[in-house]
Chains A and B, each alone.
Chain A
């Protein structure tokens, strides 16, 4: 999903960076205060960050005949709120941009926006919505992680469409072209990410039931939904 180094015109690169920086600052502050008030959460936050590291390194084959990777940021957004995952996503993207030539420094702002901001916030919103509808925990977690992942790739498509509008059809035609590459490829991968996130949350519900109940986002959804 990472927009490649140098592939956004300077004005777009700067614009997305300017949008992402306040979120990053907010995320760092919210993470810091959460850990200071509840040091016992360090373990689960570590697991959530590790999940994002692991999943974003796995390039999976998809039905479109190309490969893409899940993002893994939905899990942390459900546990600690979406802001906490902005710094985590930032670190993952920085690592891949610096060492793997995957993504880039000039496109970091745009990639942070899609993977570390839109993804976690959509996951969080979907989870709250699903919980309000009374869906079981597993279904809510699945929908949240799956749709958050998909939203990241739809955002990437929109960012590229804005930077490269089609000569004839404009931004819209361009968007469908990029969405056909990114969002379509992502569908089965997003489903896999949703299922994996359910497995991890189930394990946390078994081993860390006490901590899970104390997390603000999960607290309202403690109803066991196997």
Chain B
């Protein structure tokens, strides 16, 4: 990988890890790093305290564990396809390079 690619990866990791280190829970507040969706739910509650959701999810994961299983599956499917493409691409590039390198050596042997 090129040096610039390493730098990009380092920046992505830092952007995700730094908030975890820098932010500490304000006294009395519960639940740091919950979903921003939940904060929106609370905001709706404060703006329109009488609003009642009029439809419930058709299927809800039985627990947080099951939910993370499904999220992990979704990510795995995506990462799997990307990994397949990267693997195929690297192999194809190598095969191309190999073909160029083999040719002259084969000719050398014939000349002998």
Quick one: closest B residue to A66, CB to CB? B36
Residues A10 and B78 in contact in the complex (CB < 8 Å), given A66-B36, A181-B43: no
From B20, B25, B53, B86, name the one whose CB has the most chain A CB atoms within 10 angstroms.
Answer: B53
Can you give 10 A-B contacts (C-beta < 8 A)? A2-B37, A59-B35, A63-B19, A99-B70, A164-B47, A181-B43, A189-B15, A200-B82, A202-B5, A207-B90
Contact residue among A4, A57, A166, A182 (Cβ-Cβ distance under 8 Å from B75): A57
**Residue numbers in A under 8 Å from B19 (CB-CB):** 61-63, 65, 188
Within 8 A of A (CB), among B4-49: 4-5, 8-9, 11-12, 15-16, 18-20, 22-23, 25, 32-41, 43-44, 47-48
Contact between B39 and A47 (Cβ–Cβ < 8 Å)?
no
Task: Kindly state whether residue A113 has any CB partner on chain B within 8 Å.
Answer: no
Within 8 A of B (CB), among A80-116: 95-102, 104-106
Contact residue among B55, B67, B78 (Cβ-Cβ distance under 8 Å from A53): B78
CB of B97, distance to nearest CB on chain A (Å): 13
Task: Kindly state whether residue A37 has any CB partner on chain B within 8 Å.
Answer: no
Chain A residues in contact with chain B, CB under 8 A? 1-7, 9-10, 43, 46-47, 49-68, 95-102, 104-106, 160, 164-167, 174, 177-178, 181-182, 185, 188-189, 191-192, 195-196, 198-200, 202-203, 206-208, 226
Interface residues of A: mostly helix, strand, loop or mixed?
A: helix
Task: Tell me the bound Cα distance from A100 to B60 in angstroms.
Answer: 6
From A61, A189, A196, name the one whose CB has the most chain B CB atoms within 10 angstroms.
Answer: A61
Contact between B22 and A63 (Cβ–Cβ < 8 Å)?
yes
Contact between B33 and A177 (Cβ–Cβ < 8 Å)?
no
Residues A181 and B86 in contact in the complex (CB < 8 Å), given A4-B53, A98-B59, A207-B92: no
Contact residue among B9, B15, B72, B75 (Cβ-Cβ distance under 8 Å from A188): B15
From B41, B54, B57, B61, name the one whose CB has the most chain A CB atoms within 10 angstroms.
Answer: B57
Quick one: closest B residue to A63, CB to CB? B19
Contact between A61 and B81 (Cβ–Cβ < 8 Å)?
no
Quick one: closest B residue to A182, CB to CB? B36
**Residue numbers in A under 8 Å from B25 (CB-CB):** 65
Task: Tell me the bound Cα distance from A3 to B53 in angstroms.
Answer: 11
Contact between A196 and B34 (Cβ–Cβ < 8 Å)?
no
Within 8 A of A (CB), among B71-93: 71-72, 74-75, 77-82, 85-86, 89-90, 92-93
Task: Kindly state whether residue B106 has any CB partner on chain A within 8 Å.
Answer: no
Contact between A192 and B15 (Cβ–Cβ < 8 Å)?
yes
Contact between A61 and B20 (Cβ–Cβ < 8 Å)?
yes
Residues A6 and B54 in contact in the complex (CB < 8 Å), given A67-B35, A199-B5, A207-B93: yes
